[in-house]
């Protein structure tokens, strides 16, 4: 594990305190209301979504490559019904069979995966044909001026964080992976630096 991964894990919750209080927590709750059955959460991080899962959720399988993040998870905060299983791994190589989960959740993760198309293909593979993909992601801006700055700063940002990109065209990538949107909202993430503020959230299903 790299020093950046260790540092990132140590600082993550502190850095997210203001956005969480200013509305991100409500976004999580609203999004996870759509979760049902067996759920896979990719990039679970320190487990910020766990208290927001509804009763209708059974088993939760979570995948994250950073053991320092996993170490911070409080499994008891999980509000669903079933057991929680946390696996060290990557979204582009999910250790799961085809069509085996009802819901896949990704919050603030698709900015960090090495290859977004590969990760989304894996998500489709493990999700049942009637499954739902719940996402909340910071993305490339629609505003040309902001986008230009995102493109300029991204190499440095990516180097500093070790994985995150600020200029991903995540909505387009979700569509290209064969999903259609049931709901899609584009709204600035509260109390977040301007280049990381453009965000999308919603529910996608296999087309």
Ligand X SMILES: C[S@@+](CC[C@H](N)C(=O)[O-])C[C@H]1O[C@@H](n2cnc3c(N)ncnc32)[C@H](O)[C@@H]1O
Q: Which is nearer to ligand X, 19 or 131 (CB)?
A: 19
Least distance in angstroms from the C-beta of 64 to ligand X: 5
Burial class of residue 83, CB neighbours in 10 A (0-12, 13-18, 19+): exposed
Query: What residue has token string 């899609």?
Result: 184
Q: Which is nearer to ligand X, 103 or 107 (CB)?
A: 107
Least distance in angstroms from the C-beta of 146 to ligand X: 20
Residue number of the CB closest to ligand X reads: 45
Least distance in angstroms from the C-beta of 99 to ligand X: 20
What residue ranges bind ligand X (CB under 6 A)? 42-45, 48, 63-66, 69, 90-92, 107-109, 112-114, 163
Q: Which is nearer to ligand X, 50 or 171 (CB)?
A: 50
Q: Which is nearer to ligand X, 148 or 165 (CB)?
A: 165
Q: Which is nearer to ligand X, 66 or 170 (CB)?
A: 66
CB 128 within 8 A of CB 99: yes
List of E strands, the chain: 37-42, 57-64, 84-88, 101-107, 127-138, 179-188, 198-206
CB 182 within 8 A of CB 131: no
Tokens coding 143: 């505003």
Least distance in angstroms from the C-beta of 71 to ligand X: 11
CB 121 within 8 A of CB 173: no
Least distance in angstroms from the C-beta of 45 to ligand X: 2
For residue 20, the 8-state DSSP code is: I
């Amino acid at each position: 594990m790299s020093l950046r991964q260790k540092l990132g894990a140590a600082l993550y919750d502190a850095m997210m305190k203001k956005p969480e209080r200013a509305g991100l927590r409500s976004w999580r709750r609203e999004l996870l209301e759509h979760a049902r059955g067996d759920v896979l959460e990719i990039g679970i991080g320190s487990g910020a979504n766990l208290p927001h899962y509804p009763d209708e959720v059974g088993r939760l399988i979570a995948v994250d490559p950073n053991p320092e993040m996993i170490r911070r998870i409080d499994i008891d905060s999980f509000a669903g019904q079933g057991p929680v299983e946390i696996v060290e791994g990557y979204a582009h190589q999910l250790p799961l069979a085809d069509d085996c989960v009802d819901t896949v959740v990704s919050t603030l993760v698709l900015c960090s995966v090495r290859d977004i198309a590969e990760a989304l293909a894996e998500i489709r593979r493990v999700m049942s044909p009637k499954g739902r993909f719940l996402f909340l992601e910071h993305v490339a801006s629609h505003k040309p001026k902001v986008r230009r700055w995102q493109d300029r700063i991204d190499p440095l940002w990516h180097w500093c964080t070790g994985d995150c990109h600020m200029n991903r065209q995540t909505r387009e990538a979700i569509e290209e992976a064969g999903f259609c949107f049931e709901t899609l909202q584009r709204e600035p993430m509260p109390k977040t630096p301007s280049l990381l503020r453009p965000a999308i959230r919603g529910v996608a299903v296999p087309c």
